[in-house]
């Protein structure tokens, strides 16, 4: 399969959105598909409205923003994240005592990490997230990279016939398959009651860029909700519904694994990454066991998805 790629402009600079004057930041694109490393802002300090506006613009432009050498405290982490919206409280992950919006993601020689599937954070919520901000506290000397995927490009690269067929499809997203084994049966039943499976469009329209984005993932998407209804409208469709259903889901899920849509990041302590959960998926590579890895994550609440 041929994939047309357009490289980001490596000479692009950060600007003051109000005056178009350059900011004293250095931008280094990470891959042709997505991602940029930003040198300049000190996230320990309260960012100006100008800086926040430019970070928002760059997030839409590059989808994944990487800030190195940022020894932020939990309070500074939460304060920065709150500049982009209200923060969620995760129902399962371990939280900071003082800041329940900040979860701790730990992998060690007793508890390997479990994020090694392609996913978009909390797609199981009726109102999913805008984005996540992850701070590396501890990471192994080798391994433990994270991969991010541009799901707008993953959608664009699908055959035209497939894009046409999935326009009206919806899929079910469910918290239970990934998290039920981490809690007691009573807590599992409570979470099922609080967070029942939800339907999301298979192709969402990004609320800010307007781009169509493929929105199914390995961690939380369980099945199509309306496959039979939509299939009846497909020109020339015939055959085994179950086979076609499963084959289509496999095709869509596999789009995230295509390298041309990806970037890969090697973590260092005090790296902070801000990514757009509406247009990306990510995969935490679990190749470092039994070494230790410790991260803090804040997640910004977004808006309800609509079909593209």
User: Which residue numbers are catalytic?
Assistant: 119, 121, 282, 297
Element (H, E) at 149: strand 146-150
Token pair in block for residue 258: 């295509």
- Tell me the DSSP string of 107-139: E-SSS-----S-B-TTTTSSS-EEEEEEEEEE-
- Cα 188 to chain centroid distance, Å, stands at 24
- In angstroms, rounded to a whole number, what is the distance separating the alpha carbons of residues 59 and 62? 5
Structure tokens at 233: 């409208």
- Neighbouring CB atoms inside 10 A of 231's CB total 18
Helix runs in 166-240, H state only: 176-179, 185-194, 227-231
Task: Please give the backbone phi and psi of residue 44, each rounded to the nearest 5 degrees, phi first.
Answer: -75, -20
SS3 category, 111: coil
Residue 6 DSSP SS3: coil
């Amino acid at each position: 399969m041929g994939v047309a790629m357009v490289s980001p402009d490596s000479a692009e600079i950060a600007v003051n959105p109000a005056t178009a004057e350059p900011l004293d930041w250095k931008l280094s694109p990470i891959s042709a598909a997505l991602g940029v490393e930003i040198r300049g802002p000190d996230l320990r300090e309260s960012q100006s409205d100008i800086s926040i506006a430019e970070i928002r613009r760059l997030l839409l432009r590059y989808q994944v923003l990487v800030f190195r050498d940022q020894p932020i405290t939990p309070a500074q982490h939460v304060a920065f994240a709150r500049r982009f919206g209200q923060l969620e409280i995760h129902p399962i992950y371990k939280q900071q005592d003082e800041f329940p919006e900040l979860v701790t993601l730990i992998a060690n020689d007793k508890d390997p990490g479990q994020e090694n599937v392609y996913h978009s954070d909390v797609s199981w919520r009726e109102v999913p997230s805008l984005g996540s901000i992850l701070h590396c506290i501890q990471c192994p000397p080798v391994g433990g990279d994270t991969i991010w995927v541009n799901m707008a490009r993953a959608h664009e690269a699908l055959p035209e016939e497939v894009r046409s067929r999935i326009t009206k499809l919806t899929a079910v997203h469910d918290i239970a398959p990934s998290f039920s084994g981490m809690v007691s049966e009573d807590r599992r039943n409570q979470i099922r009651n609080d967070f029942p499976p939800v339907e999301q469009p298979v192709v969402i329209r990004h609320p800010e860029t307007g781009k169509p984005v493929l929105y199914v993932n390995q961690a939380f998407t369980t099945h199509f909700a309306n496959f039979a209804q939509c299939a009846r409208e497909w020109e020339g469709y015939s055959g085994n519904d179950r086979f076609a259903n499963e084959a289509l889901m496999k095709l869509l899920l596999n789009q995230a694994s295509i390298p041309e849509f990806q970037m890969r990041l090697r973590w260092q302590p005090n790296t902070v990454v801000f990514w757009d959960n509406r247009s990306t998926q990510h995969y935490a590579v679990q190749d470092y066991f039994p070494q230790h890895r410790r991260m803090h994550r804040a997640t910004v609440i977004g808006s309800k998805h609509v079909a593209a």
